[in-house]
Every structure is written in structure tokens, then in C-alpha cells.
């Protein structure tokens, strides 16, 4: 697929720039397999790659970024600080930048609340890194609304993103509203692992569009403005995930899928 034929991936605006709503996740992608997956995604037209220090594959992602003829500023790169690296934020960030072969991140996340606490000290270090230009946007992952509130109270600044498990079964209108009220973008992970892909609601909608239920789940994220990062190391699956850009769901279909939440 050439760039000319790749539909534009929709974006959401963060303080540091536009974040593509669809990206490639790399959790549990290792070694040369991870490198090949990222290369395949970039060549297909993906513009967003998600990794983490804890995944142990930042160097492979960096090699992939270097291997493909693509402008660094055209790819949105996310990595994450392991919770046990609290207190070593800057050192960890510099190591991540070196492995990724870049002078900045587009998004840096606190991977989990350190010691299950909000830890405003770590958040202050993230703000400092952002202000220094090493990171364009900063956020958190696996934080509760109460923990996000604690960060805001301590620093006056909300995370740009909260990366959390998200799927139709996780849908919670109150949680969506709570993030929106605080200006926090939801980024979902494990969209398929937490979904019954044989659910009659999903299969009916998939049949109506001539797509798979996996593609319906991804499109549901995009049409709600939720970032989604499906992980795959298979080029065909990576391509199929990108094909969700060729259709959309109407309000009734979205509402029916929302209704799977809390089942």
C-alpha cells in the first residue's frame, strides 16, 4: 500500500500536537519480531507506535524507525516509565531516547502508579521533561480518576492521556465523562482480549459492513475519539487493523456496542 492510497488516520489534539487515534501496540513483541512488525506498520501507513521501557523492545522500535524512510516528525512515538523507576525519571527518559534513536518523545506515560500511589513527585519530573522539550505531551497509564485528581491538585496540570484497558465490555459513560471533564484523552489497550468477538451485536454490525468483529471493535474506538493500539506482529493482521479507516459506524450502532459495557 503506497502512502497515496493510505486513508488518513484521524487524530485527537494533545497539548504537544496531534495524536493518531490508531496505533501499533508492541506489548509482548520481542526481538526481531518486534522490529519487523514496526517496519511493516510504518510501510503500510501507520503513524503511531506505542512501546514502553518495561516491554524491553525500545531498541528494536528504534531500529525500525531508522530502517523506514519516514520523517521522524511524521511518527507519533510513545514510551512509558516503569513504576519502579520513580525517582529515576530523567535517567530512564534519556535511556529511552537513546534506544529509540530520537531526541524527543511525542508522549511519555507513567506506566502504572508507583507503589499504587499517584506519586506527584514523578508527575512533576514529567512536567519538567516536557518543559525542557524532551517530551511533547505527558500522561499516565492505569490511573484512577482519584489519582488523576491528586496529580492535578498537586501540580495544576492534568495528564494529557490515561492509557487504560478498554473494550466494548469496559464501556462506562461515567468514566468517559470524568476523563473528558478533566481534559484527559482515553487511550485503550487490549481491545480484543477483553471482548467476546462472537457477541451477536458485534457479529450483526460486522456483517452489515462486510468486515470482521475485530474491525468493528477498533472502529468503535475511533468513532468515540478513543485512541486504540492493537498489538500484532503479523503483517496481514496489521493491515486489517488499518482497514478500519474505510468504514464508520452510525450513532445507533455505537449505542448498541456501548450497551455491551458492564455485561
Q: Are 204 and 245 in contact (CB under 8 A)?
A: no
Label the pairing between strands 11-14 and 17-20. Answer: antiparallel
Q: Are 155 and 32 in contact (CB under 8 A)?
A: no
Q: Are 127 and 157 in contact (CB under 8 A)?
A: yes
Q: Give the Cα separation of 11 and 39 in Å (integer).
A: 21
Question: Mind giving me the DSSP string for 194-253?
Answer: TS-TT-HHHHHHHHHHTS-HHHHHHHHHHHTT-EE--B---HHHHHHHHGGGG----HHH
Q: Cβ contacts of residue 239 below 8 Å, gap of 6+?
A: 1, 44
Q: How far is CA 200 from the centre of its chain?
A: 27
Catalytic residues: 55
Query: Minimal CA–CA distance to 175: which of 188, 192, 190?
Result: 188
Q: How far is CA 239 from the centre of its chain?
A: 17
Q: What share of the chain is helix, strand, coil (3-state, %, to 5)?
A: 50, 15, 35
Helix (H, G, I), strand (E, B) or coil at 187: strand
Amino acid at each position: 500500500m503506497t502512502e497515496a492510497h493510505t486513508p488518513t488516520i484521524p487524530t485527537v489534539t494533545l497539548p504537544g500536537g496531534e495524536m493518531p487515534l490508531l496505533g501499533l501496540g508492541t506489548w509482548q513483541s520481542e526481538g526481531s519480531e518486534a522490529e519487523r512488525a514496526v517496519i511493516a506498520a510504518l510501510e503500510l501507513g501507520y503513524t503511531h507506535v506505542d512501546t514502553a521501557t518495561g516491554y524491553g523492545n525500545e531498541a528494536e522500535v528504534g531500529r525500525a524507525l531508522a530502517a523506514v524512510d519516514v520523517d521522524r516528525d511524521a511518527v507519533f512515538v510513545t514510551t512509558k516509565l516503569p513504576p519502579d523507576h520513580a525517582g529515576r525519571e530523567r535517567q530512564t527518559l534519556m535511556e529511552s531516547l537513546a534506544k529509540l534513536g530520537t531526541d524527543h518523545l511525542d508522549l511519555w506515560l507513567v506506566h502504572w502508579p508507583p507503589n499504587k500511589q499517584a506519586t506527584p513527585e514523578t508527575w512533576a519530573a514529567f512536567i519538567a521533561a516536557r518543559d525542557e522539550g524532551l517530551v511533547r505531551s505527558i500522561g499516565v497509564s492505569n490511573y484512577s480518576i482519584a489519582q488523576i485528581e491528586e496529580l492535578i491538585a498537586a501540580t495544576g496540570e492534568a495528564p494529557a492521556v490515561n492509557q487504560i484497558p478498554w473494550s466494548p465490555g469496559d464501556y462506562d459513560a461515567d468514566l468517559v465523562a470524568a476523563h473528558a471533564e478533566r481534559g484527559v484523552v482515553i487511550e485503550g489497550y487490549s481491545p480484543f482480549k477483553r471482548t467476546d468477538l462472537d457477541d451477536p451485536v458485534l457479529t450483526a454490525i460486522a456483517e452489515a459492513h462486510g468486515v470482521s468483529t475485530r474491525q468493528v471493535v477498533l472502529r468503535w474506538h475511533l468513532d468515540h475519539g478513543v485512541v486504540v493500539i492493537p498489538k500484532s506482529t503479523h503483517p496481514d493482521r496489521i493491515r486489517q487493523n488499518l482497514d478500519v479507516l474505510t468504514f464508520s459506524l452510525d450513532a445507533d450502532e455505537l449505542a448498541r456496542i456501548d450497551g455491551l459495557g458492564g455485561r
